[in-house]
Structure 1
Amino acid sequence: MYLIEEQESLDHFLSDIKNEECIGVDTEFARVKTYYPKLCLVQIATPSLIACIDCLSDIDLDGLWEIIFDEKIEKIMHSCSQDIEIFFLNKQDVPQNIFDTQIAAAFIGYSSQVGFKELLEKELNITIEKSQTRSDWSKRPLAEAQLEYAFDDVEDIIELSSSIKEKLIKLDRNEWVSEECESLIHKKTGLMDTSEIWKKTKGINKLRNNQRRLAILLSKWREEKAAEKDLPRKWLIDDGEIISIAKNEDLSVETLMKSISSNRLKKDEIKDLHHFLQNTEETDFSLNQDNRRKKIKEEDLKAVSGYLESRSIELGINKDILGSKKDMIKFISERSGKLNEGWRKKLISEDLKTLLD
C-alpha cells in the first residue's frame, strides 16, 4: 500500500497493472463549496497491489485514464454513480466493463442500498472503519486515518466481488447483473440534468398547479445557474425561498430580489430569472409522471405492485430491484420502460400484461 504523489511512481505503478484482468477502483472528492465535484484521490487495487493516487499533485493522469477506460479491464466498484460523474467530468466519457458490488449484492438478497462495510462483514467477515466519510479530501497533507480509510475502500473489493459472483452463478443471475451494470454507462450523470432536478427541492410535492409549475421552473433555473457559477445550488436560492416565491406567485423583479437572500446573485441575474419565469412554458421536465399517473387506474397500480411484491419474495430480492413506482406507472400507461426490457421482460413482462389485460 502506498500513496503516489510523483510522476515516476505513477508511471511505474500503471506499468505494473496494465495487464490485469480486473482492478478495484474508488475515488475521493471534495464538493462542499462547489457545484462540480473536485477529484482529489483515486484508489486502485489489484490482487497484489494497492495505491492511492493523489490527483491534486503535479502529475499527468493520462496514463491512469487509459487504465480506467480500458474496456478489457473489469473495474470492480461499489455504488459507483458518483465515481462515474467524476470520470465523465474529467474525460467526457464513462468507463465500460464495470462490476458494481452494490448492484450485484441486491441480486443475492441484500438491500439495494447495502453499504460496503456491511458487505465486507457479511461476505468476508472483514471489519473496516468508516470514520472519514465526511473528511475534507482536498486538504494536504492527507492524514494517516484518511489514507487508511481510502485503502480500506479497495483493499478487499476484488475478493468481495468473487464471493458475490459465486452466488450469482449458483442463482443463474450473472446476466441480470451484467445488464444492470451495463445500464450505468447509459444513465445521465446527474450533473446539469435539469429534467427531474425539481425532485431535490424540499416541499415541492406539497404544491399544486401553477405554484408547483413555478417551483419546478425555479429549480431548473437555479441548477443551471449553480453549474455556471460552480457553486452549490442552495448557496444561490434556498429550497424554502423557492417554495415561498412559488406560493406568492408575484414574479416582479423587486419581489424576487426581496425573496432571495443570497448575495451571490446580481441584479441582472435576478432580471434574467424574472424573464425566464415569465416566458418559459411548462415542458417535459415538469410533471410527466404525474400526468401519466392521472391516466391509470389505481387498481391497476395496486395489482402490479402486489405482483412485484410477491415475485420479489419468491426470488429473494427487494421489490425495488424489479421496479419502482415510476417504472410501474410507465408500464401500465405505455407497456414500455424498464419492466418491459432485458431480464425483466423475460421474467415478469408477460405476467404483467396478462394481469392488466
Structure 2
Amino acid sequence: MQTITTTEALAAYCEAARAHPYITVDTEFLRERTYYSQLCLVQLAMPGTDDDNAVLVDPIEGGDALSLAPLFDLFRDPSVVKVFHAARQDLEIFAVAAGVIPAPLFDTQVAAMVCGFGDQAGYETLVKKIARASVDKSSRFTDWSRRPLSEAQKAYAIADVTHLRQIYEFLAARLDKTGRSAWVQEELSTLANPDTYRTDPAEAWRRLKTRNTAPRFLAILRELARFRESYAQARDVPRSRVYKDDALLELAATKPQSMQDLGRARLLLREARKGEIADGIIAAVKAGLDCPQDDLPRVAENANGKAQANPAIADMLRVLLKARSDQSGVAGRLIASAADLDHLAAGGHDVPALSGWRREVFGEDALRLCRGEIGLVVRGEEVTAVPL
C-alpha cells in the first residue's frame, strides 16, 4: 500500500491517472475542533483490480514536502471523471482550501438513489450489493490526525476507493442503459456550484429553528447568528465554541444590553460572558433592536399566501410519491422532500419537484392531484392514478 508524502510522487501518480477515464477519490478529515474541516488523508484509485493503482496521500506526514497542487490540476482535467461517494463534505474541503471543485464529477450515492438502491444508500450497502464484499468499519471514528496511522486505518481508508471503482462502473452502466445519466448530472449541479460551500454570515440565521416569527425577534436572531458565524470563521473554531443554538435563541428572546444583563443568561458558556464574545453579543443585540422597520426579516409565505398545507392533500401526495418512487425505482426523498409536499399541498409551486426530470416522474401528476383532476386507486398491490 503506497503512501505519498512528496509533491513529486503525487505529480507522477496524477500524470498516470490522466491516462484513465476516471479516478475514485475519498478523504479522511476532522472537524470537531475547527470551523473548517482539517484534511488528514486523501485516498485515490485508478481503474483496475490491482491495489497498486490505489494510494494514500498524507498531507500531515508530508508537511512542507507535499503540495496538493498536482491533485488540484487533476481535479480540473475535463478528460477524467472524479468519482466520490456522498461527496459534499469532501468537495467542501477542496473548495475552501483551493477554490477548486473536481469536474467532471460523479457521486455514487446520488446515482444509487436514481438506480433503485433506496434513500441515501450507504457505501457499505453498495459494497455488499454490487462488489459482493464487506468493509471493516472499526476504524471509522478514529483520530485521523494522529501519526503514525495503523495498518487497520490504512486498510479501511484504501477500501473506500478500491471498491468504489466497481460501484461506479456498475452504476454508470445502469444509468446509460436506462437513459438517466442526465438525471444524475442535474442533481450534481448543486454540488458543482461553488456557492454551495460558502456560508454567508448574514444568512446564518436561516438554519436556526424557532417558532417565534416576530420580525424584531428575528432581527436580533439574525445579528447574533451573523456575529457568531463571523467570529467562528475568523478564528476557525466550531460555532458551538462561541455559543450554542439554544443559547443564541435565549439571547434573542432576553435581549441583553449590558454585561449585567448578560450575566443572567442561563445557557451561555462561561467564556462567552466576557471579552470579545460578550462585546459582540451586546453589539449584535443593539444592531437588531436598532434595525429599521424596512430591513426587519420576515418569514415568507408561499406564493398563494397560505401558511398551512391541506393535510388531506399532503397525505395523498405522499401516497402518490411512494407509488411513483416504486414505479420508477428512484428514491422518494430524491424526487420530493416532505417540505416540497407540504408546499404543494398549500398551493405553492416553487419547488424542485416541479422542474426537470422530477416533473416528469412525479410533479405533473402531483399538480393534477392538487387540482382535483386525478384520483388514486388501489389495484392489487399498486396505487395508480385515474382521471376524474
Q: Which TM bucket (shorter chain)?
A: 0.7 to 0.9
Structure 2 letter corresponding to 1:10: L
Letter in 1 for 2:353: L
Alignment partners' CA distance in 1, 2:129 and 2:82: 22
Aligned to 1:352: 366
Q: CA deviation at 1:215?
A: 4.5
- TM superposition shift of 1:106: 0.9
Structure 2 counterpart of 1:55, from 22, 36, 59: 59
Residue in structure 1 matching 2:350, options 336, 340, 346: 336
Higher mean alpha-carbon deviation, 251-260 vs 105-114, is at 251-260
CA distance in 2, matches of 1:286, 1:125: 52
* Counterpart residue number, 2:386: none
> Higher Cα Rg: structure 1 or 2?
2
In the alignment, the residues of structure 1 paired with residue 98 and residue 170 of structure 2 have an alpha-carbon distance, to the nearest angstrom, of 32
AA aligned to 1:129 is D
Q: Give the counterpart letter for 1:17 in structure 2.
A: A
Q: Quote the residue 1:160 is aligned against.
A: 167
Q: How many aligned positions are there?
A: 355
Cα distance in 2, alignment partners of residues 330 and 194 from structure 1: 27
List aligned pairs for 1:205-220, cutoff 5 A.
Answer: 205=210, 207=212, 209=214, 213=218, 214-215=220-221, 217-220=223-226
The structural deviation recorded for 1:109 is 2.2
Deviation at 1:316, TM superposition (A): 2.9
Unpaired segments ≥5 residues, structure 1: none
In the other structure, the counterpart of 2:375 is none
CA contact (8 A) 1:7 1:60 kept: yes
Asked if 1:235 corresponds to 2:241, the answer is yes
Counterpart of 1:179 in structure 2 is 186
The letter of the residue matching 2:56 is C
Tell me the TM-score normalized by structure 2.
0.80
User: Does the 8 Å contact 1:98/1:182 carry over to 2?
Assistant: no
Tell me the residue number matched to 2:90: 83
Q: Is 1:31 paired with 2:31?
A: yes
Partners of 2:225 and 2:119 in 1: how far apart? Answer: 28
> CA separation of 1:248/1:284 partners in 2, compared to 1, >3 Å: closer, same or farther?
closer
Distance 1:215 1:134, change over 3 A: farther
- The answer to whether 1:324 aligns with 2:337 is yes
Cα pair distance change 1:27/1:244, threshold 3 Å: same
Give the fraction of aligned pairs with identical amino acids, expressed as a percent. 27
**Aligned partner of residue 44 in structure 1, secondary structure:** strand
Find the residue that maps to 1:263 and give its secondary structure: helix
SS of the equivalent of 1:28 reads: strand
1:258 CA drift (Å) = 4.6
- More off after superposition, 230-239 vs 204-213: 204-213
Counterpart pick for 1:148 among 132, 136, 155: 155
* Residue 98 of structure 1 pairs with residue 105 of structure 2: yes
Structure 1 position 348, deviation (Å): 2.9
What is the deviation of 1:336?
2.7
Counterpart code for 2:271: N
Structure 2 gaps, min length 5: 372-388
**Alignment partner, residue 320 of structure 2:** 307
CA 1:2–1:227: 2 relative to 1, 3 Å: same
| CA-CA distance at 1:350 after TM superposition | 2.6
Secondary structure of residue in 2 paired with 1:335:
coil
Question: Which amino acid counterpart does residue 248 of structure 1 have in structure 2?
Answer: T
SS of residue matched to 1:25 = strand
In 1, the alpha carbon distance for the partners of 2:96 and 2:205 equals 22
Change (3 A) 1:277 1:307: farther
Other structure's SS at 2:307 match: helix
Residues in 1 aligned to 2:20 and 2:296: alpha-carbon distance in whole angstroms: 44
Partner residue of 2:80 out of 69, 73, 81: 73
251 and 118 in structure 1: CA distance in 2 versus 1, 3 angstrom threshold: farther
- Verify: 1:279 aligned to 2:291, yes or no: no
The Cα shift of 1:236 comes to 1.0
CA distance in 2 between counterparts of 1:16 and 1:300 reads: 56
CA displacement, residues 266-297 of structure 1 (integer Å, 9 cap, x when unaligned): 53442332232332359798733789761654
- Write the distance in 2 (CA, Å) between the matches of 1:153 and 1:145: 13
Q: How far has the Cα of 1:122 moved from its partner? A: 1.3
Match of 1:288 in 2: 300
Asked if 1 retains the 8 angstrom alpha-carbon contact of 2:24 and 2:83, the reply is yes
Residue type at the aligned position of 2:125 = E
Which has the larger displacement, 326-335 or 127-136?
326-335
Query: Residues 255 and 34 of structure 1: is their aligned pair in 2 closer, same or farther, counting only changes over 3 Å?
Result: same
1:245 and 2:251 matched: yes
Aligned 8 A contact 2:354 2:363 in 1: yes
- CA 1:289/1:34 → structure 2, altered by over 3 Å: closer, same or farther? farther
Which whole-Å CA distance do the structure 2 matches of 1:71 and 1:275 have between them?
48
CA-based RMSD: 3.0
Decide whether the 8 Å contact of 2:18 with 2:79 is kept in 1: no
Q: Mark the CA change 1:353 to 1:294 in structure 2 (over 3 Å): closer, same or farther.
A: same
Contact 1:107 1:177 in 2 (8 A): yes
- Judged with a 3 Å threshold, the aligned counterparts in structure 2 of structure 1 residues 218 and 135 are, in CA distance, closer, same or farther, namely same
Confirm or deny: 8 A CA contact 1:97 1:182 kept in the other structure.
no
- TM, length-normalised to structure 1: 0.87
**Which has the larger displacement, 187-196 or 47-56?**
187-196
Q: Deviations over 1:195-228 (max 9, x none)?
A: 7755765xx4455646963545533432222112
Letter in 1 for 2:32: V
Question: Aligned partners of 1:294 and 1:135: how far apart in 2?
Answer: 46
Corresponding letter in the other structure for 1:276: A
The separation in 1 between residues aligned to 2:270 and 2:18, in whole angstroms, is: 49
